[in-house]
Chains A and B, each alone.
Chain A
């Protein structure tokens, strides 16, 4: 006993009442685990819809089936699918499309999910775009140390900024309709995308 460094003992682990000994996932909404291959199949179907010209149906499908239970890789795949669909829809079509979506059954939830993807997409900066050459370029080490900020401005010149401007214009149109309430929901929701 004498050679145990008692200062490093995690006393929370010894207290049965402590939150440390409690599985917090039991408090959050139950999500179904989704395998990466399922996400891939789904993304294939959605791309099919986009190619068929039904961008609205594709977006709806992507948002209705957001893989909350997938692992990081699965979520990443779905994000790029959603990003692709968003990029396919023209500026002028955004507002009417969002209106139709918002007014439909369960539309508020769909809009919240879309908001989640917009924020996730924006948080990615340019390190995740469908264009692989941009991916490589933005990852070069920055002398300044502000790798994220630097990466963004670099990407902007390459077309990664295009994805960002798509996110921003969607964000503007979406907030106009669903208000700040949706943003707060995205922040407080434990079901992340």
Chain B
């Protein structure tokens, strides 16, 4: 397993990050702006800045094919950024019509829509209206009872999963006439008018949900919540109780982000500052370990213990050990906010990237 690739961009929290499809551009949400980094050799250099929001940017997502960037912020706005002919990025305001902060944003796989979660107990499903040349939104309201913390798209671009602080993970239909084609029937449902609730799941302790994700096939849903549980739901059919709901209580601090690397493997990261791998299927899941190297600290050279070092350290710091115990043993030096797919082929994810409060973006090889 190759060592993780660490990019320490700055000393500020990264609330969200996104790589372009060719992985040469990295968009990072930093305070009120989004910074665009370009890869040159082994490092990323600051290339451009998307200024426009006047409060903390909470979500950023680059559409893989079109290259459009969508951002959302606590200032209750979302912008779609497109490169103009002169090479500058031009924002288009999206009419979200929410009266609380926007918390998360994701393009649907078809890239015709995106969903914005908000603190107003609303998910705004946004699409482009040709006749007005304008991004407009339709609201998913019921039965959300609290802030939406995360949204995730089904591969068919119609079903949308959302996690909320009311402790529920829900699956909605976000079908929009004129934009979407009628989706094929799936275990989640057959007829799917807008705001159909296809599933509503509560974890055993009702801890709030941090992140949700659909399996690559779309036939399973995973969510992680603040009670350190990861729950995986396998639906059986429309209007029927799910075939299996598996909840794993972990020994770690809660996960804030998760993704499916294949149909039988989940990658989770969160307050433990480390990335974990979970494996299983409809019969059961278990945590199989961390992606960190077992011994030592990757990326940091281990200093050899010698008598000289010991006495020097006692003299300088009043401690016998030269180990700097302000450093965590993990690659990330603070909690991880988002984990995203970095590279995949044939439905299997080979690399994932994580961004954290420590201002690092790390690319992990699975």
A190 touches B205 (CB 8 A): yes
Nearest B residue to A30 via CB reads B202
Q: Does A112 count as interface, using CB distance less than 8 angstroms?
A: yes
Q: Which among A24, A108, A180 is the interface contact of B252 at CB below 8 angstroms?
A: A180
Nearest B residue to A112 via CB reads B249
Q: Which among B145, B207, B252 is the interface contact of A19 at CB below 8 angstroms?
A: B145
Q: Does A22 count as interface, using CB distance less than 8 angstroms?
A: yes
Segment with Cβ contacts to B, from A6-14, A47-55, A181-189: A181-189
Q: What is the bound-complex CA distance between A27 and B167, given in angstroms?
A: 7
Q: How large is the interface on A (under 10, 10 to 19, 20 to 34, 35 or more residues)?
A: 20 to 34
A178 touches B251 (CB 8 A): yes
B245 → chain A closest CB, angstroms: 13
Q: What is the bound-complex CA distance between A190 and B253, given in angstroms?
A: 18
A29 touches B228 (CB 8 A): no
Task: Please give, as numbers and ranges, the residues of chain B lying within 8 Å of A22 by CB-CB distance.
Answer: 145
Q: What is the bound-complex CA distance between A24 and B165, given in angstroms?
A: 12
Q: What is the bound-complex CA distance between A116 and B191, given in angstroms?
A: 44
If A27-B168, A189-B207, A191-B205 touch, whether A179 touches B251 (CB-CB below 8 Å) is yes
Task: Please give, as numbers and ranges, the residues of chain B lying within 8 Å of A181 by CB-CB distance.
Answer: 228, 249-254
Q: What is the bound-complex CA distance between A108 and B167, given in angstroms?
A: 20
Task: Please give, as numbers and ranges, the residues of chain B lying within 8 Å of A182 by CB-CB distance.
Answer: 228, 249, 251
A88 → chain B closest CB, angstroms: 27
Task: Please give, as numbers and ranges, the residues of chain A lying within 8 Å of B226 by CB-CB distance.
Answer: 184, 188
If A27-B168, A189-B227, A190-B206 touch, whether A180 touches B249 (CB-CB below 8 Å) is no
Q: What is the bound-complex CA distance between A180 and B270, given in angstroms?
A: 13
Which residues 148-193 in A have Cβ within 8 Å of B in the complex? Answer: 178-182, 184-185, 188-191
B205 touches A188 (CB 8 A): yes
Task: Please give, as numbers and ranges, the residues of chain A lying within 8 Å of B146 by CB-CB distance.
Answer: 19
Q: What is the bound-complex CA distance between A189 and B253, given in angstroms?
A: 14
Which residues 17-44 in A have Cβ within 8 Å of B in the complex? Answer: 19, 22, 24, 27-29
A135 → chain B closest CB, angstroms: 32
Q: What is the bound-complex CA distance between A113 and B252, given in angstroms?
A: 17
Task: Please give, as numbers and ranges, the residues of chain B lying within 8 Å of A24 by CB-CB distance.
Answer: 145
A29 touches B206 (CB 8 A): yes
Task: Please give, as numbers and ranges, the residues of chain B lying within 8 Å of A185 by CB-CB distance.
Answer: 205, 207, 227-229, 249
Q: Does A109 count as interface, using CB distance less than 8 angstroms?
A: yes
If A185-B227, A188-B226 touch, whether A28 touches B250 (CB-CB below 8 Å) is no
Task: Please give, as numbers and ranges, the residues of chain A lying within 8 Å of B249 by CB-CB distance.
Answer: 108-109, 112, 181-182, 185
Number of residues from B at the complex interface, CB < 8 A: 22
| A121-139 vs B, Cβ < 8 Å mask (1 yes, 0 no) | 0000000000000000000
Nearest B residue to A108 via CB reads B249
Which residues 179-207 in B have Cβ within 8 Å of A in the complex? Answer: 202, 204-207
Nearest A residue to B141 via CB reads A17
Q: What is the bound-complex CA distance between A85 and B312, given in angstroms?
A: 52
| B204-243 vs A, Cβ < 8 Å mask (1 yes, 0 no) | 1111100000000000000001111100000000000000
Task: Please give, as numbers and ranges, the residues of chain A lying within 8 Å of B227 by CB-CB distance.
Answer: 184-185, 188-189
Q: What is the bound-complex CA distance between A19 and B166, given in angstroms?
A: 11
Task: Please give, as numbers and ranges, the residues of chain A lying within 8 Å of B204 by CB-CB distance.
Answer: 29, 109
B107 → chain A closest CB, angstroms: 29
B144 → chain A closest CB, angstroms: 11
A157 → chain B closest CB, angstroms: 37
A184 touches B228 (CB 8 A): yes
Task: Please give, as numbers and ranges, the residues of chain B lying within 8 Å of A19 by CB-CB distance.
Answer: 145-146
A189 touches B206 (CB 8 A): yes
Q: Which among B205, B229, B251 is the interface contact of A180 at CB below 8 angstroms?
A: B251
Residue picked from B145, B204, B249, most chain A C-beta under 10 Å: B249
| B157-181 vs A, Cβ < 8 Å mask (1 yes, 0 no) | 0000000001110000000000000
A185 → chain B closest CB, angstroms: 4
Q: What is the bound-complex CA distance between A184 and B335, given in angstroms?
A: 15
| B248-265 vs A, Cβ < 8 Å mask (1 yes, 0 no) | 011111100000000000
Task: Please give, as numbers and ranges, the residues of chain B lying within 8 Å of A108 by CB-CB distance.
Answer: 249
Nearest B residue to A111 via CB reads B249
Q: What is the bound-complex CA distance between A34 and B226, given in angstroms?
A: 28
B119 → chain A closest CB, angstroms: 12
B73 → chain A closest CB, angstroms: 24
**Interface contacts beyond A188-B208, A190-B206: sample of 8 additional A-B pairs, CB < 8 Å, sorted by A:** A19-B145, A22-B145, A24-B145, A27-B166, A185-B229, A185-B249, A188-B207, A188-B225
Can you sample 6 A-B contacts with CB below 8 Å? A109-B204, A180-B228, A182-B251, A184-B228, A185-B229, A189-B205
